[in-house]
Amino acid sequence: MSSPVLVPHPDKEALASGIAARLATAVLDAQARKELAEISLTGGSMGGLTIAALLVEPAWAAVDPRRVQVWWGDERWLPRGHPERNDTQADEAGIRRLGLDPDLVHRVPGPDESDSPEEAAAEYARVVQARGTGDFDVVMLGVGPDGHVASLFPGHPAQLTSDAVAVGVHDSPKPPPERVSLTIECLSRSEQVWFLVSGQDKSAAVRDGLDGAPAERSTATQVTGRRATLWLVDEAARPVSG
């Protein structure tokens, strides 16, 4: 597994542009090696800004978007189209204008399609195993001030899930309380893991991630890429030296 590397950017907009350029290159590299590039998206403000930046990223024109398979690292267990769902926010940011094959954009079932977060997690895991190529090329993850990634919160029972692809989450410390998340094991089956972090309130979480804080303080430290683990941050989120 790779060691974490800090890659700072001047501000949030430069961060989004840098992520978009880096992602287009990673997808092109993957498509040169195999039929489908596999990427896992994140929600939150950086997820939306990254999609918006991809729409104007020149290198994306060289990508074959019909050969990109898209997943989400986690989802709020809410009905399809709910404004708090990560995929709804991605739709609003313009993901449909990237030219992706809708059949390769995999959305997590909500309560309108499943009876519980556990059932949704089981179905999402089935699709990952049946439709995925085995590994991600890039997993992108936001990081909370508490060090959580996806919907795996430090000290929460879901964080400790093993021998599974996805897990249903109840009593999340951050609303909404019910969610579905890929597990640490699944997220770590990636060539590259990128943490996308903006804002001074997350600088301590970035420091914990770079220092390898224990699992009870940082879920982010438990997820690493085989080839690269990058902390892509803006200046506000950059830890103070010393």
pLDDT by residue for the chain (242 residues), tens only, comes to 799 999 999 999 999 999 999 999 999 999 999 999 999 999 999 999 999 999 999 999 999 999 999 999 999 999 999 999 999 999 999 999 999 999 999 999 999 999 999 999 999 999 999 999 889 999 999 999 999 999 999 999 999 999 999 999 999 999 999 999 999 999 999 999 999 999 999 999 999 999 999 999 999 999 999 999 999 999 999 998 64
Please give the pLDDT value at position 163.
94
H/E stretch holding 99 reads none
Residue 46 near residue 153 (C-beta atoms within 8 A): no
Nearest CA to 98 out of 190, 29, 20, 197 is that of 20
CA distances from 224 to 25, 87, 229 (A): 20, 24, 6
If 0-12 CB within 10 Å is exposed, 13-18 middle and 19+ buried, where does residue 240 land?
exposed
Please give the pLDDT value at position 242.
44
Q: Classify domain 4-221+229-237 at the CATH class level.
A: alpha beta
What is the rounded distance in angstroms from the CA atom of residue 113 to the CA atom of residue 40? 22
| Tokens 């997943």, located at residue | 71
- Which DSSP category does 76 fall into? E
Please give the pLDDT value at position 241.
66
Go through 191-210 and write b for each residue having 16 or more CB atoms within 10 A of its CB, e for each that does not. bbbbbbbbeeebbbbbbbbb
Please, which residues have CB within 8 angstroms of residue 193's CB and are 6 or more apart in sequence? 138, 139, 141, 187, 223, 224, 225, 228, 229, 230
Amino acid in position 181? S
Domain boundaries, the chain: 4-221+229-237
